[in-house]
Amino acid sequence: MIYLDYTATTPPDPAVVSAFNAVAMGYPGNENSEHQSGKAARNQTESASEMILRRLLAPEHQVIFTSGATEANNLAIKGLADKKRHLGKHVITTPYEHASVIASFGVLQREGFEVEFAETGSDGTVRLDSLQALLRPDTILVSVGAVHGEIGIRQPIDEIGRLLDKYPYITFHSDMTQAIGKIPVDVSMVDLATFSGHKIFGLKGVGALLRKKNVILEPQIHGGHSTTEYRSGTPPTPLHVSLAVALGLAMDREDDQLRHVYGLNVYLRERLAAFPEVRINSPVSAIPHILNISVLPIPAEQMRARLDARGICVSTQSACHSGKGRSEAVFRLTQEEQRARTSVRISLSRLTTVDEIDALIEALGAELGR
Ligand code: PMP
């Protein structure tokens, strides 16, 4: 099998699984218990939080562990709106967001919030002047994903952060799930940042929302008293530690993996240029890990299935969207129906090899009758 779907998920690093096992066996106490067993487990989570904040150079933030990025996005958007609705009901996002961001804004809209979308340029990036023009005294939240999971569009988070610094009453959230651990990001520019373990060779079932300590959120999961103020229940200590270990490893390797993936992306683009039927949808400014292409004669889902039959895993749209026959994001970016109906996402990682890219090119050639 050739796996070219690392944006959907990555296999866990063995060191992450070892850390999970060691904490599961060594610290079985309930963090909500006051005795020494509970305290020992709690210390593990506290160390994991400190490590995450140290690695991300985010001393002003708190780590709220969640089950993943979906939960973190829900908590950020709905939790913030619940607390600030008395101050205003105007919220802003972009057309290039993950389903969990879009759906959370959908909930706010049903509750009477006004949701506006910042304009984007031809490469999908937010236009700062348009964003600034949307800001109002009753704007409480701006949410801009750092990297779009389907196309790889990269947003100017630092510049948006600097703009929003002038509006201290507006909370700035960024879904950094496809950025943290892959490309350099400055978490200090945002009030709330989302990321997830399984996108960076960690485990499924854990992620985090980083919250600047002055930002108040309404918990979205209610229950009894817990050390996890925003999320009642018994904290999964081994998952918390696994997230810190995965992030540490990803950041240690960030430069090397970025260079490797960038080289593969350039090579893949060069080889695809031999097929006039193929269009590249990801802008050159996209992160190199994601290359979204359209194979014009072949509908997306058919292409995906045919490559799968040849042992190659790629995806259509984002795995989280239900198939409507076309990719709304690719349509928005290219304004071409055919491209939107035939787009597949190839995604690369430090584990991808040139041989795997060659095998993909060979399979594409065979499907196109070469
Ligand atoms: N945001 C982005 C940009 C993503 O790519 C994903 C994963 N598809 C998510 C959020 C959701 O992540 P999780 O699986 O951890 O809920």
319 C-alpha vs ligand 1 centroid, how far in Å?
9
Residue 103 is predicted with a pLDDT of: 98
Q: What is the pLDDT of residue 246?
A: 98
- What does the pLDDT read at residue 323? 52
- For residue 346, the surrounding DSSP H or E stretch is strand 343-347
CB 289 within 8 Å of CB 347: yes
Give residue 352 CA to ligand 1 midpoint distance, Å: 21
Query: Which CA distances in Å does 263 have to 174, 249, 269?
Result: 28, 21, 10
Choosing from 115, 320, 351, 359, which is the catalytic residue? 320
- pLDDT value of position 324: 63
Separation between Cα atoms, residue 47 and residue 361, nearest integer Å: 45
* Contact 70 CB / ligand 1 (< 6 Å): yes
Residue in the structure block whose two tokens are 């690695």: 55
CA of 365 to the centre of ligand 1 (A): 31
Is residue 150 within 6 Å of ligand 1 at its C-beta? no
**pLDDT value of residue 321:** 52
Three-state DSSP at 155 gives coil
What is the torsion angle, in degrees rounded to the nearest 10, for the CA atoms of residue 288, residue 290, residue 296 and residue 298? 140
Which residue(s) pair with 63 in the sheet?
210
Does domain 2-8+253-362 fall under CATH 1.25.40.80? My reply is: no
- Give the type of residue at 331: F
Query: Residue 178 CA: which ligand 1 atom is closest?
Result: 3
Burial environment of residue 368 by CB neighbours within 10 A (0 to 12, 13 to 18, 19 or more)? middle
Domain positions in the chain are 2-8+253-362, 14-252
Average pLDDT score over residue span 298-315: 97
- Reported pTM: 0.97
Three-class secondary structure of residue 1 per DSSP: coil
- The pLDDT assigned to 318 comes to 52
Asked if residue 189 has pLDDT above 70, the reply is yes
* Residues sharing a CB contact under 8 Å with residue 305, sequence separation 6 or more, in sequence order: none
Cα–Cα distance, 177 to 198 (Å, whole number): 10
SS3 316: strand
Query: Is 320 designated active site?
Result: yes
Give the list of residues 6+ apart from residue 146 with CB closer than 8 angstroms, or none: 154, 155, 157, 174, 175, 176, 178, 179, 180, 185
Percentage of the chain exceeding pLDDT 70: 98
The SS3 of residue 239 is helix
Question: Which tokens sit at 85?
Answer: 């609705």
Q: Which of 299, 278, 292, 301 is nearest to 364 (CA)?
A: 278
Instruction: Name which of 218, 161, 164 is nearest 187 in CA terms.
Output: 161
Indicate whether residue 178 lines ligand 1 (CB < 6 A).
Answer: yes
Q: Is 197 helix (H, G, I), strand (E, B) or coil?
A: helix
The architecture of the domain spanning 14-252 is 3-Layer(aba) Sandwich (3.40)
Pocket test for ligand 1, best of 6, 66, 67, 70 (most atoms within 8 A of CB): 70
| pLDDT band of 15, cuts 50, 70, 90 | very high
> Would the CATH topology of 2-8+253-362 be identical to that of 14-252?
no
B/e letters for 39-70, b = 16+ CB within 10 Å, e = fewer, are eebbebbeebbebbbebbebeebbbbbbbbbb
**What is the per-residue pLDDT for 370?**
87
Burial readout 316-337 (b: 16 or more C-beta within 10 A, e: otherwise): bbbeebeeeebbebbbebbebe
Under 8 Å between Cβ of 69 and 177: yes
Ligand 1 centre distance from Cα of residue 180 (Å): 12
Mutate to test the pocket of ligand 1, among 144, 155, 180, 199 (most ligand atoms within 8 A of CB): 199
Q: Among 100, 154, 345, 347, say which to mutate for ligand 1: greatest number of ligand atoms within 8 Å of CB.
A: 100
Task: Say how far apart CA 360 and CA 38 lie, in whole Å.
Answer: 50
Counting atoms of ligand 1 from 1, which one is nearest the CA of 198?
15
Q: Is the C-beta atom of 318 inside 6 A of ligand 1?
A: yes
pLDDT tens-place string over residues 251-272: 999 999 999 999 999 999 999 9
Please give the mean pLDDT across all residues of the chain: 96
Place of tokens 């140290």: 54
Residue whose CA is closest, atom 5 of ligand 1?
A: 149
pLDDT value, residue 319: 46
Q: Which atom of ligand 1 is nearest to the CA of 70?
A: 16
- Are the C-beta atoms of 101 and 92 separated by less than 8 Å? no
Q: How far is the CA of 99 from the centre of ligand 1 (A)?
A: 8
d(Cα 22, Cα 86) in Å, to the nearest integer?
46
